[in-house]
Amino acid sequence: MFLGTPEAAVPSLLAVHAAGLPVRLVVTRGDARRGRREEPSPSPVKRAAIALGIPVSHDVGDVVAAVAGVHDPLGVVVAYGRIVPSAVLDLVPMVNLHFSLLPRWRGAAPVERAILAGDRETGACVMELVAELDAGPVHSCIRTSIGGEESAAELRTRLAESGATELAHCCAAGFGEGRPQDGVPTYAAKVGPSDVAIDWSGAASTVLRQVRVGGAHTSLRGVRTRIVRARPVQTSGDPAGESGIVTRDHDGAVVVACGVGSVALVEVQPEGRRVVDAGAWWNGASSSHLGTVRFG
């Protein structure tokens, strides 16, 4: 059995399959609508399962029928996005690949929270799925350091790949007794707009973390703008000016002063517009629009 939904779960499905372990059924969340006019589209895991010729279900209850007659059934859960009911878990033991060093960052957004908190190291754990959220005994962990400019998407891709290898290895080797999680748990709540709303009066390092998580937004010259990419600026010590003020330095970098330090914008996306290079944004924003968008 394999339960998973997004792109980050696909390497695990492929690795378990490639290890020669029989996957009888894939359970994934229902097809999601992307954009306003698009037809609902299948999840990445569903597409991968179809390509591998594995039956797919949207109902976790189907697991029970699928394991009928199977000796030692096992479910593998990676970013499924739903709670597995205990009635199912009682019949089919499951292991879960979670993208943090447990018990740190139990919950929905471990990769994003690790970056927002400024963690230098994270990892992925294979653990037993229990009723309590991400609290099961751990079978195996891999560790990795977080790159100083690595985005959440990049880190998630890395963890998905190396975690998948570890997961397949565990599945092939068999699971012994897990080791209880050791330490004080922290919880990784889903990241919402308020988590990535930029406060320029804060530290540049905080702003950069928000940008790396994705969706970081602010108001620039009266227009709500998403900061797609940014980089740290080595400041000479003097503050560049009042926080939130945008300037262009002698190297052509578009720099925003923060409460502590400064940030150079690399790519931005003004509301309703496409992603543009910060230099192009600067030229457009400073020459044409006085304050905000003018309709006719």
Partner 1 sequence: MARRISATDIRVYGDPVLRAEASRITDIDDSLIGLAERMFEVMYRAPGIGLAGPQIGVEKQIFVYDLDDDPQVILNPVIVESSGEWVYDEGCLSIPGLFVEVLRPKQILVRGWTLAGEEVEVEADELLARLFQHEVDHLNGVLMFDRMTPDQRESALSEYQRRADGASVEPIHIKLA
Does 288 bind partner 1 (CB under 8 A)? Our answer is yes
What are the residues whose beta carbons fall under 8 Å from the beta carbon of 184, sequence distance 6 or more? 103
Q: Minimum CB separation from partner 1 for residue 283, in Å? A: 13
234 binds partner 1 (CB under 8 A): no
33 touching partner 1, by CB under 8 A = no
Assign 103 to helix, strand or coil. coil
User: Is position 36 an interface residue for partner 1 (rule: CB under 8 A)?
Assistant: yes
Q: How far is residue 97's CA from residue 126's CA, in Å, rounded to a whole number?
A: 5
Distance CA(244)–CA(36), nearest Å, equals: 34
44/31 Cα distance (integer angstroms): 10
Q: How many CB atoms lie within 10 A of CB 114?
A: 27
The DSSP code for 106 is B
What angle is formed at CA 183 by the lines to CA 192 and CA 180, rounded to 5 degrees? 105
Applying CB under 8 A, the span of 3-11, 85-93, 236-244, 287-295 interacting with partner 1 comes to 287-295
- CB count within 10 Å of CB 153 equals 15
Report the first-to-last Cα separation within the chain, whole angstroms: 57
Told to check if 20 binds partner 1 by CB under 8 A, we report: no
Smallest distance from partner 1 to CB 207, Å: 23
CA atoms within 13 A on the CB side of 142: 19
Segment (H or E) for 91: helix 86-91
What's the min distance (Å) between Cβ of 36 and partner 1? 5
Would you say 246 or 255 has its CB closer to partner 1?
246
Each residue 188-227 as x (binds partner 1 by CB under 8 A) or -, in order, gives ----------------------------------xx----
Q: Kindly determine how many residues on this chain lie close enough to bind partner 1 according to the rule CB under 8 A.
A: 17
- The reply on whether position 292 binds partner 1 by CB under 8 A is yes
Q: Does 71 bind partner 1 (CB under 8 A)?
A: no
Residues 138-167 that bind partner 1 (CB under 8 A): none
If one asks whether residue 293 binds partner 1 (CB under 8 A), the answer comes out as yes
Q: How far is the CB of 92 from partner 1 (least distance, A)?
A: 42
How near is the Cβ of 145 to partner 1 at its closest, in Å? 39
Q: Which residues are bridge partners to 263 per DSSP?
A: 232, 256
Binding site for partner 1 (CB under 8 A): 36-37, 222-223, 271-274, 288-296
